[in-house]
Amino acid sequence: MNRKAAQFIAYCLTIALIASFILSTAACSSKTATTTPAKTIVSIAITPNSSPNVTIHTNLQFMATATYTDGTTADISDVANFMGFNDTILKISTTGLAYGVSAGSVKINATWEGVTSLPVLVTVVSP
């Protein structure tokens, strides 16, 4: 076999090996990837939620817990938006820190990602 023929055969074998490698790599990477659907909040619960009392001129920290479509839960207090419905009785920060202003009862709730909790009735009492 002459030198040119040997070089040609070596060239063809190199190309064949490269093509084989590319095809085997493509076959491995073409597998269908499974994707996990994004979790969605289905409900939000505020705690404490069992008739909480706040004394006038004191604070009470509320927390919000999200329940997701897959059944898992997470504390979302740092991102939820808390709201009160009567600032003359109870002031509540967007992070859930409530401050008793005057005696009475007021409802609060928390909202995140378009989901709003059921209201919790908070009673502000005299010291």
Domain spans, the chain: 1-35, 41-125
How many angstroms separate the CA atoms of 7 and 1, rounded?
A: 10
Residue 31 token pair:
């597998």
CB–CB of 119/51 below 8 Å? no
**CATH fold for the domain made of 41-125:** Immunoglobulin-like (2.60.40)
The identity of residue 63, as a single letter, is M
pLDDT for 15-61, tens place per residue?
A: 665 656 565 655 555 445 566 668 899 999 999 988 899 999 999 99
Rounded to the nearest 5°, which phi and psi values hold at 24?
Answer: -70, -35
pLDDT of residue 38: 81
